[in-house]
Amino acid sequence: MAQDFPLIKFEHVSKIYQTGEIAVRALDDVSFTIHRGEFVAIIGQSGSGKTTLLDILGCLNRPTEGEYQLNGQSIQTLSDHALTTIRNQQIGFIFQTFQLLPRKTALENVQLPLLYAGLSRVDQRERALELLTRVGLDNRTHHYTNQLSGGQQQRVAIARALANKPDIVLADEPTGNLDSQSGQDILTMFHQLHAQGQTIIMITHDQDIASQAQRRISVADGKIVSDDQVMTSHPLMV
Ligand SMILES: Nc1ncnc2c1ncn2[C@@H]1O[C@H](COP(=O)(O)OP(=O)(O)OP(=O)(O)O)[C@@H](O)[C@H]1O
Ligand SMILES: [Mg+2]
pLDDT of residue 181: 92
List, for the chain, all residue ranges whose pLDDT scores fall below the cut of 70. Answer: 1-3, 231-238
How far the first Cα of the chain sits from its last, in Å, is 26
- Is residue 168 within 8 A of residue 201, CB to CB? The reply is yes
pLDDT of residue 237: 44
CATH of the domain at 192: 3.40.50.300
Q: Amino acid identity of 156?
A: V
- Kindly state whether residue 151 falls inside one of the protein's structural domains: yes
- Kindly state whether residue 100 falls inside one of the protein's structural domains: yes
Other C-beta atoms closer than 10 Å to the C-beta of 119 total 18
Is the CB–ligand 1 distance for residue 145 below 6 Å? no
Nearest residue by C-alpha to atom 25 in ligand 1: 46
Is the CB–ligand 1 distance for residue 44 below 6 Å? yes
- Kindly state whether residue 71 falls inside one of the protein's structural domains: no
- Kindly state whether residue 30 falls inside one of the protein's structural domains: no
pLDDT of residue 227: 97
- Kindly state whether residue 20 falls inside one of the protein's structural domains: no
- Kindly state whether residue 72 falls inside one of the protein's structural domains: no
Residues contacting 203, CB < 8 A, separation 6+: 41, 42, 43, 50, 51, 54, 171, 172, 173
pLDDT of residue 238: 41
- Kindly state whether residue 13 falls inside one of the protein's structural domains: no
Is the CB–ligand 1 distance for residue 58 below 6 Å? no
What is this structure's pTM? 0.93
The β-bridge relationship of strands 73-74 and 91-94 is unpaired
Instruction: Report how many domains make up the chain.
Output: 1
- Kindly state whether residue 7 falls inside one of the protein's structural domains: no
pLDDT of residue 2: 55
- Put the strands of the sheet holding 168-172 in their side by side order: 91-94, 168-172, 199-203, 39-43, 215-220, 223-229
Distance 226 CA to ligand 1 centre (A): 20
Q: Could you list the residue range(s) of the whole structural domain that residue 111 is in? A: 36-61+79-229
Is the CB–ligand 1 distance for residue 46 below 6 Å? yes
